[in-house]
Amino acid sequence: MSPKTSSKIAKIIIIIASVAALFYFMYWLWQRQPKEQPQPEPQSQNTQNQIVENKNEEVTITTTPADGAIVDNADSTLAIKTKAASFVAIFSNSFSQIAKTDSAGLVTQDEKFDSALNLIQISIFTDDFTKRIDKKIAIYTRNAKTPPSANVVVAGTVKNIFQNVITVDSFGQDNKIKQDSATKINYPTPLPAAKKSATNNQDIRVGDYLIVLGKTGTVDEISALNIDIYRDSKPQIQKDIGQYLLLTPVKNNVFSAKGGSENQISEFTLNKNSQISKGGQTASATDITKGQKALIVFHPEADKKIADLIYLLP
């Protein structure tokens, strides 16, 4: 190779090395530039709404009289305290009412309680009707057979029996019932086969439904004064409630609606006791029109759903 050629090759190598060094130096400087810290993504509107929704779902319900109360008069006032501006349904087997709570979350309704036991359901609907909260209570109207010293009623199913203490499940809450030789035990109807003397715990079985009238003591037990036992025809609330979209007007006392817990089309029948309310005022069957939304309290009768109360929503 001639000296001239060697010189050209050397120059090319030097140029390539210089360019490579320049690029490496630029890359080295770029690597040492301060990096912008990644910003946390803003919370989406959906996530924010979910948080608010979860907070709103923490709905409490208190009643006066409270669950387990014994009242002296069948004509009483029932007060419900819950979330403000909520629709509240109050119903038992003998009455049905729907109202809206005020800005303090309070609604009061005058009720005509049945003599003896009243099983009552309170259903609260959230603002957008996506959630329903239920609470069931037992209230007892004092009568001539009520022990004078009784101050509490417990109605529910026997879960456990240990010596003279009975555990009764009343709407998901366990109550300890203590009985003694003075406790009066009754079999209202039907009478169990081969009925014994009904003076001891062996006459009460797990699974029996009891109505206990008693008095509260210093310990976490209720001293039973009177116990009614039901084995077959157990007391229960026969009614239910749901939000529905009305599909037809009333024809021959029948109309159709879609909704409820299973979101299916149902057919409802009106009878002489059916109530219709619009804007809190008494309405008529002609006010039931296609496309309206309503809260409907109903009960089964044979193969029909009888509408006890249709509360037309604004």
pLDDT in the model for residue 19? 64
Chain segment 245-260, per-residue pLDDT in tens? 999 999 999 999 999 8
Query: By residue range, what is the domain housing residue 296?
Result: 240-312
Beta bridge partners of 299: 306
Query: CB count, 10 Å around CB of 258?
Result: 12
Contact 237, 157 (CB under 8 A): no
Contact 121, 239 (CB under 8 A): yes
* Calpha distance 223→99 (Å, rounded): 37
Q: Distances from the Cα of 292 to the Cαs of 103, 246, 256, 288, in angstroms?
A: 26, 5, 11, 7
Average pLDDT taken over every residue of the chain: 85
List the 62-64 sheet strands across, edge first.
62-64, 75-81, 106-112
**pTM for the structure as a whole:** 0.77
Q: Give the mean pLDDT of 152-166.
A: 96
* Calpha distance 123→101 (Å, rounded): 12
Question: Which token pair is 179?
Answer: 């009985």
In percent, how much of the chain has pLDDT > 70? 79
Same domain, 301 and 246: yes
pLDDT in the model for residue 118? 98
* Calpha distance 170→290 (Å, rounded): 41
Q: Distances from the Cα of 66 to the Cαs of 63, 114, 135, 138, 161, in angstroms?
A: 5, 16, 11, 8, 26
Q: How confident is the model at residue 48 (pLDDT cuts 50, 70, 90)?
A: very low
Q: Does 199 or 285 have the greater pLDDT score? A: 285
pLDDT in the model for residue 46? 37
CATH number at residue 286: 2.40.50.320
Chain segment 266-297, per-residue pLDDT in tens? 999 999 999 999 988 999 999 999 999 999 99
CATH number at residue 118: 2.60.40.10
pLDDT in the model for residue 192? 53
Give the residue among 126, 136, 119, 135 at the shortest CA–CA distance from 243. 126
CATH number at residue 159: 2.40.50.140
Exposed / middle / buried, residue 111 (Cβ in 10 Å: 0-12, 13-18, 19+):
buried
pLDDT at 34 over 60: no
Contact 121, 139 (CB under 8 A): no
Residue 1 lies in a domain: no
| Of the residues 122, 141, 160, the one at which a domain ends | 141
What's the number of domains the chain is made of?
A: 3
Same domain, 156 and 212: yes
Length of the chain: 314
Chain segment 116-139, per-residue pLDDT in tens? 999 999 999 987 787 899 999 999
With a CB cutoff of 8 Å and minimum separation 6, the contacts of 198 are 185, 186, 187
